[in-house]
Amino acid sequence: MFALLRLIGVIWILGFIVLALAATSSYLFSSADAERAQRFSGRLSMALLWPIAVFSSAGRSRLRRGF
């Protein structure tokens, strides 16, 4: 049981790292506009919550649109 929780934790952390790097890259290479920081903040929060969002169709579509 503990091994399963550890596996889920590792997948969650790796997913966060990948999505956070994508958010940071899009922040650094996007044009400077007023909504740039808000987009970055939203994408980082989605990077933290991506495993929960995967369980609903609305969450999956939001992840596709956000990244």
Q: What is the mean pLDDT of residues 32-41?
A: 87
pTM for this prediction = 0.71
3-state secondary structure labels for all residues of 18-41:
HHHHHHHHHHHHCCCCCCHHHHHH
Q: What is the mean pLDDT of residues 19-46?
A: 87
Gap between the Cα atoms of 31 and 41, Å rounded: 16
Q: What is the mean pLDDT of residues 14-34?
A: 88
User: Is residue 54 predicted with pLDDT exceeding 60?
Assistant: yes
Residues 5-16 have pLDDT tens digits of 899 889 989 989
Higher pLDDT, 64 or 22: 22
